[in-house]
Structure 1
Amino acid sequence: MSDRTKFPLRIVGALAGVLLLLAAPLSLESFWLQTGLFAMAAVIGAVGLTLLVGVTGQLSLGHAFFVAVGAYGYAFLAGSSDGDVVGVGLPPAVATVGAVVLAGVAGALFSPIAGRLRGIYLGLASLGLVFAGQHILQNATAVTGGFNGRDAAPFRLFDFSFTATDPELIIFNVPYGALERLWYLGLLLVAVAVWYARNLLRGRPGRALVGVRDSEAAAAVMGVNVRRYKAAAFTVSSAYAGLAGVLLALAFGRIVPESFGFLLSVDLLAMIIIGGLGSIGGAAAGAVFVIALPLVLNHYSDALPFLAQPGEAGIGAAEAARLLYGAAILAVLLYLPGGLAQLTHRISAKESRHEQTTAGNGDSTSPHVDRV
């Protein structure tokens, strides 16, 4: 198949995928919609983390802290004061921007440390953010609600509320509640996040970040301000994490500190390793895999005989999911260092070689009219 034929086929396939995503709320039940929203938030966070770890080469084990800043920042800015919990009461759209900015500022404040450290030392330093963040979330009860958490105000844009009502919305006899409406908001945020990351990598900043990852000394000789670009990478990545936190807060409806612990940082790192470090598409695929697997296993645990039910001895759905994607990480590190992105490239390269071989065989066996 020629490249001219492949190009329109890819466009048709992409359009078909977009249409399926847009039509998903018409047929999916609430479990799949909520799983999809969690996956979308994970995609945004993973794309931001791969810009930092995969592209710039800075290890972070503390991105759960920045996700929490985004989630609680939105809840505080968009929420209203109620009892012991205080809020600013800003419009949700403004609160979303404010929460992303807060997460980016938190990353910028940490960036001087990131500029001085590298490798495992930077990872351990960033890990301290998670433990400090947990202490703050559990004790700053006026802002976070403490151990019990706090509600996240529903998203609202002008007079349209992302709830079950106000206004009531029915499309093709399907009532559009909060999950159905948030689905489209999540798709929009993912599209913007992926678009910005791709454009960043294609431009001069992306080449500078790759140069910093490959050799800081060589990048400095080429005129790259290494500290500035490392600080910018941490800031942008933290802002991505903040946006993921906002979407998580909207999907949960109520946020608690334990949702933003060390395990979330590990999950984010697992996403980009499985997907392929430095690959935007790979990060998205890894995020969907890591987030959806435990939820799906838990949802269908009754039908899977090898899973123990809650309260029973044995391996439960959450433990089985961690074992599976732990095995996936080992398989990637041993046999596929480029992750799912490398697997895709291998398949594409194999198809191209097969087409070239077929074309070459066809040329050698076809009759030549000018042959004497």
Structure 2
Amino acid sequence: MKSPRAYVKNPKAYLWIAGTVLLFALPFYLDRFWLQAGLFAMAAAIGAIGINLLTGATGQLSMGHAFFLAVGAYSYCVLAGESGVENGHRLTGLGLPTWLAAVLAVLVAGAAGGLFSPIAGRLRGAYLGIATLALIFIGQHVLFNARDLTGGFNGRAVPPLSLFGIDFDDSETVIAAIPFQSAEKLWYVALLALIGCGLFARGVLRGRPGRAMNAIRDHRIAAGVMGVPVARYRAAVFVLSSMYAGLAGVLIALVFQRTVPEYFGVVLSLEFLAMIVIGGLGTVAGAVVGAVFVSLLPQILTHYSDTLPLVSAPGTGGVAPGEASRYLYGAAVVAVVLFLPGGLTRLITSRKTPRE
């Protein structure tokens, strides 16, 4: 066993602390572009942690993760928004306090996962992937046609979050001579949510549920023989993954400040699968690393499209930043599968751990 002093002297702990302090300080130094890019990355990381619990740790292939992001995003808009007319459509809203609407939106996403969980508990492999893919098509149909709730093709505006008397909108709050607007204020909400979700998922994976999930992934029949309730665990993990996706959807909606149906399509689900493959299946760190890579790449290419070769703004004759980013992380998926099966996090953890 390691002595307490060994844990104190562990440099990895100090690196995590230093990284957390750095992340809390970034809003004082970064401009709005990088703050919004970071917010998208943190929201994507929360969603990626959820699908990594499902696909990476339990072995359940899900192609419908974007559906549950949409449930979270639009549930928040309906619960927090006011009824009225927008873009010629009458929209329904309950006008609840925004913090309560955010919590309820996550629970609604979990409930949607719960409704699907009996299917998730019994299907596996490609069959589950096809079943969850159907959720995307159903969700897209509802989002485009339930105009009273979603606003149809044009979407609907997202009410700004209000928490502890602080409005997370573009109203200016000066802290240490630095003007804080929506991006700066939302940064801390997203960061705390990511830390909380990461720690919870880490606890699940390192505890008895995590061992049961890995047993189901590696050998379902053997897990059942050992007394693991396979169908129950699969259903429970599906609900938990849906709640993570719902929270990610709420954060993405708050950053976008508008929800549009076409964003929550098949491409978004594929991007989440790419995140966990590139970062590393079955680990929280892998989900975060993959989410940062996949979500930041198109934004960086767009930001620097004037100086990068072969990349140009859409409609100017070159390769659009979005297309270039898909080529790059598609190539990254192939490279990881062929040469680095453990994902990018394997580069960090490849050194052997000394025996206890």
Q: Which amino acid aligns with 1:68?
A: A
Q: 2:120·2:235 contact (CA, 8 Å) conserved in 1? A: yes
Rounded to whole Å, the distance in 2 between the matches of 1:107 and 1:91 is 24
Residue 111 of structure 1, CA deviation: 1.2
Rounded to whole Å, the distance in 1 between the matches of 2:247 and 2:102 is 8
Partner of 2:163: 157
1:229-284 C-alpha deviation (Å, 9 max, x unpaired): 00001000000000000000100001100110110000000000001110110110
Rounded to whole Å, the distance in 1 between the matches of 2:17 and 2:113 is 36
Q: Which amino acid aligns with 1:216?
A: R
State whether structure 2 residue 175 is matched by structure 1 residue 175.
no
Judging changes above 3 Å, is the alpha-carbon distance between structure 1 residues 338 and 8 closer, same or farther for their aligned structure 2 residues? closer
Q: Which of residues 141, 146, 152 in structure 2 aligns to 1:135?
A: 141
Residue 164 of structure 1, CA deviation: 2.7
Residue 19 of structure 1, CA deviation: 1.6
Partner of 1:48: 50
Judging changes above 3 Å, is the alpha-carbon distance between structure 1 residues 5 and 78 closer, same or farther for their aligned structure 2 residues? closer
State whether structure 2 residue 244 is matched by structure 1 residue 240.
yes
Partner of 2:313: 309
Partner of 2:73: 71
State whether structure 2 residue 90 is matched by structure 1 residue 88.
no
Residue 206 of structure 1, CA deviation: 1.2
Residue 201 of structure 1, CA deviation: 1.1
Rounded to whole Å, the distance in 2 between the matches of 1:107 and 1:8 is 40
Rounded to whole Å, the distance in 2 between the matches of 1:9 and 1:124 is 45
Equivalent residues in 2 for 1:1-372, closer than 5 Å: 4=6, 7-83=9-85, 84-165=90-171, 168-346=172-350, 348-349=351-352
Q: Which moved more, 1:313-322 or 1:293-302?
A: 313-322
Q: Which amino acid aligns with 1:55?
A: A
Rounded to whole Å, the distance in 2 between the matches of 1:159 and 1:115 is 42
Rounded to whole Å, the distance in 1 between the matches of 2:164 and 2:345 is 40
Residue 5 of structure 1, CA deviation: 8.9
Identity of aligned residues (%): 55
Of structures 1 and 2, the larger Rg is shown by: 1
**Residue segments in structure 1 that go unaligned for 5+ positions in a row:** 354-372
Residue 6 of structure 1, CA deviation: 8.2
Q: 2:68·2:109 contact (CA, 8 Å) conserved in 1? A: yes
Matched residue count = 348
Q: CA RMSD in A?
A: 1.7
Q: Which amino acid aligns with 2:58?
A: T
**Secondary structure of 1:175 counterpart:** strand
Rounded to whole Å, the distance in 2 between the matches of 1:29 and 1:306 is 26
Residue 317 of structure 1, CA deviation: 1.0
- From the two aligned structures, give the one with the greater helix fraction: 1
1:157-206 C-alpha deviation (Å, 9 max, x unpaired): 132111232xx421222100000000000001101110110111122111
TM-score, normalised to structure 1's length?
Answer: 0.90
Rounded to whole Å, the distance in 1 between the matches of 2:324 and 2:261 is 24
1:50-100 C-alpha deviation (Å, 9 max, x unpaired): 000010000000100000000001111111111200111111111111111
**Secondary structure of 1:87 counterpart:** strand
